[in-house]
Amino acid sequence: MLETNLKTVRTDMKTLIKDAQDLFREATSVTGVKAEELRARGLTLLDTAMAKAQDVQAVAMEKGKEVADSADVYVRENPWRAVAISAGVGVLVGMLIARK
């Protein structure tokens, strides 16, 4: 579900940025009231993009805290198992580094 949300937000961000770029390009060739209107629309699009980026950051931070909390609970409940897993990962990484 998180991956789907991230893909959707990424697609929305790309679309918003492309639309803002198009508006700014068009605004450079136009003067007067029309140019101000286009610039205002572009700034609104950029504000929307920033708001979506902040929402995604907040969700990612929350999910990260949940994962850290669950890892902390697991390690507190199974300290020797956590030590064994850490040692196994260390041995595997050491073997991979030693091969090169």
Query: What pLDDT, on a 0 to 100 scale, did the predictor assign at position 93?
Result: 94
What is the pLDDT averaged over residues 59-76?
89
Is the pLDDT assigned to residue 88 strictly greater than 90? yes
Is the pLDDT at 54 greater than 70? The verdict is yes
What share of the chain has pLDDT > 90, as a percent? 25
In the predicted structure, residue 92 carries a pLDDT above the cut 90: yes
Put simply, whether the predicted model's pTM sits higher than 0.75 gets the answer no
Range of 91's domain?
A: 2-99
Quick one: the chain helix, strand, coil %, rounded to 5?
95, 0, 5
| Number of structural domains in the chain | 1
Task: Give the pLDDT mean for 41-65.
Answer: 82
Question: For residues 5 and 2, what is the distance between their CA atoms, to the nearest angstrom?
Answer: 5
